[in-house]
């Protein structure tokens, strides 16, 4: 594995990365909660903790890559490409 990929993997695992990515994705936040991009209800609270997210309304959950896939409605490859540009 090359150095750049290893660094990206480490940044993705950093618990602070997912909150930053949620903001970069334009997800609305209120206090410590964000709002779920998959719920059509603009008031569906989603918690971000320990590098993962979970929506209290629809139950969707995952890591930072899953959040990008959900918010951008894209596949894994596109999510990783977007993350590599955002994290860099």
Mind listing the pLDDT tens digit of every residue in the chain (88 residues)?
Answer: 578 777 877 888 888 899 999 999 999 888 888 999 998 666 788 999 999 999 999 999 999 999 999 999 999 999 999 998 987 6
Contact 55, 44 (CB under 8 A): yes
- Domains of the chain by start residue, with CATH: 3-87 (3.90.580.10)
- The pTM of the full predicted model, rounded to 2 decimals, is 0.86
The half-sphere exposure of 2 on its side-chain side, counting CA atoms within 13 A, is 2
């Amino acid at each position: 594995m090359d150095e750049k990929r290893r660094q990206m993997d480490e940044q993705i695992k950093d618990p602070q990365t997912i909150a930053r990515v949620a903001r970069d994705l334009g997800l609305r936040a209120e206090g410590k909660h964000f709002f779920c991009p998959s719920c059509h209800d603009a008031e569906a609270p989603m918690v971000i903790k320990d590098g993962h997210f979970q929506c209290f309304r629809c139950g969707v959950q995952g890591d930072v890559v899953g959040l990008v896939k959900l918010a951008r409605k894209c596949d894994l490859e596109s999510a990783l490409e977007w993350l590599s540009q955002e994290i860099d």
